[in-house]
Amino acid sequence: MKLLEEKILHDGNIRAGNVLKVDSFLNHQIDVPFIEMLGKEFYRRFGNEKVDKILTIETSGIGIAAVTATYFKVPVLFAKKSSGSNMDKDVYFTQIYSYTHNKTNTVTIAKRFLQAGDRVLIIDDFLANGCALEGLLDMVRQAGAQVAGIGIVIEKGFQGGGDKLRAKGLPLVSLAIVDAMDSATGKISFRKEARE
Amino acid sequence: MKLLEEKILHDGNIRAGNVLKVDSFLNHQIDVPFIEMLGKEFYRRFGNEKVDKILTIETSGIGIAAVTATYFKVPVLFAKKSSGSNMDKDVYFTQIYSYTHNKTNTVTIAKRFLQAGDRVLIIDDFLANGCALEGLLDMVRQAGAQVAGIGIVIEKGFQGGGDKLRAKGLPLVSLAIVDAMDSATGKISFRKEARE
């Protein structure tokens, strides 16, 4: 998506350790009028599918998932990273390793919100090595639900998670795929096929 | 807001320890078509104010804040509970005690996203004792920004945080105020003044 690539080039910052900071519009401050255009694009790409709910994971997937859900007119379900004292005990759970925070989180979804036959559209802000997405897919499988689609805002193509999922035949759409980035020069190369 | 009170009565569950579980529509699953009506109501109540951005705190404030921002056409800024390896170092921070998780979190906002003179609308899903809100207000003060309004979905009136803020003259609107609830009988009493 050309508009998103331009936004990344204009507002993104490359940091050491393959970090692409886009916290001015995506995951600390959320530029909602801009994010609405991304939500509309997900609807253009997946609007023909039957989607019962949108699934994401806390924290930074929630904003884009909620805005996207306004176009699909469906609920959002977000997987939770910690089990507070009032967390439901009857949950699906999986382990997800976070490179950003260098720790493994137990991630949960209350069983009554994800059931056999539900068709879910998975939405997240980033896809890198694919750990978070594999965790969500694991819980979708546990529930006997179906994947209607996977919509990612920014895929870091050079970390391989997206291509692994494509090789499995999963219906993955990334609105921008970064194939290379250089923290020294600030140069970012995008994969052309994400521009359709 | 009558519609919200009915939703709470229909879908909410009272648990021991003053817990009102509304995770079927507000803070695990988010009923986005319903939440859009709450966002419109916040716009009706605060739409005459100059609002530069909506401020909330992760995790469960983000969905309602993002949907509300689609009506205000402004960005959302959410305060972050943990400082990951790619967290900005130039931040406002404050300490917030969470009764739900029984721990104190350091909460941060990158300084470049909240500046002197910014008029912010604070949005959150719950207001109980007011710790989270006091933390957000502390960071707004540190920035020299101004509070255009505070919009809460559900206030637990019997925990006193809301009345303390009203006594200070803060422009607080809670769409539903629970004045009493009983986990034995399931009975919930709402404050009438939240129904205007």
The mean per-residue pLDDT over the stretch A26-55 comes to: 98
Q: Chain A: nearest CA to B40, how far in angstroms?
A: 13
Domain span at residue A138?
Answer: 2-195
The SS3 assignment for A185 reads coil
Picking from A70, A85, A101, the nearest residue to B32 by CB comes out as A70
Domain CATH number, residue B96: 3.40.50.2020
Q: What is the mean pLDDT of residues A75-82?
A: 93
pLDDT value, residue A46? 98
| DSSP annotation string for B32-47 | HHHHHHHHHHHHHHHT
Residue A24: list chain B partners with CB under 8 A. 112-113
Between β-strands A19-21 and B146-156, what pairing exists: parallel, antiparallel or unpaired? unpaired
| Residue B50: Cβ-neighbour burial (10 angstroms; 0-12, 13-18, 19+) | exposed
pTM for this one? 0.96
Cα-Cα-Cα-Cα dihedral sign, residues A67, A72, A76, A78 = negative
Gap from A102 CA to chain B (nearest CA, Å): 8
ipTM of the complex: 0.95
Q: What is chain B written as a DSSP string?
A: -HHHHHHHHHH-EEETTTEEE-TTTTSSEE-HHHHHHHHHHHHHHHTTS--SEEEEETTTHHHHHHHHHHHHT--EEEEBSS--TT--SSEEEEEEEETTTTEEEEEEEEGGGS-TT-EEEEEEEEESSSHHHHHHHHHHHHHT-EEEEEEEEEEEGGG-HHHHHHHTT--EEEEEEEEEE-TTT--EEE-GGGG-
Q: Please state the three-class secondary structure of B126-146 as a single string.
A: EECCCHHHHHHHHHHHHHCCE
Residue B111 CB partners (closer than 8 Å, separation 6+): B88, B90, B91, B92, B143
Q: Which of B32, B58, B101 sits opposite A69 (nearest CB)?
A: B32
A52 Cβ neighbours under 8 A, 6+ residues apart:
A74, A118, A119, A120, A148
* pLDDT for the residue numbered B132: 96
* CA closest to A62 among chain B residues: B63
Identify the pLDDT of residue A85: 54
* Total count of domains within chain A: 1
Report the DSSP pairing between strands A19-21 and A13-15. Answer: antiparallel
Q: What is the pLDDT of residue A84?
A: 55
Across A91-109, average pLDDT? 89
| 8 Å CB contact of B78 and A36 | no
At residue A88 the predicted structure's pLDDT band, cuts being 50, 70 and 90, is low
Reading chain B (196 residues) residue by residue, the pLDDT tens digits are 999 999 999 999 999 888 999 999 999 999 999 999 999 999 999 999 999 999 999 999 999 999 999 999 999 999 998 755 555 679 999 999 988 778 899 999 999 999 999 999 999 999 999 999 999 999 999 999 999 999 999 999 999 999 999 999 999 999 999 999 999 999 999 998 777 6
Is the minimum CB–CB distance between A78 and chain B shorter than 8 Å? yes
Confidence grade of residue A194 (pLDDT, cut at 50, 70, 90): confident
Q: How far apart are CA B88 and CA A43, in angstroms?
A: 33
CB atoms within 10 A of CB A193: 9
Q: Give percent of chain A above pLDDT 70.
A: 96
**Is residue A188 scored above 60 in pLDDT?**
yes
CA A11 → CA A22, A98, A194, B163, distances in Å?
Answer: 7, 24, 19, 41
Taking the CA atoms of chain A, what radius of gyration do you get in angstroms? Answer: 16
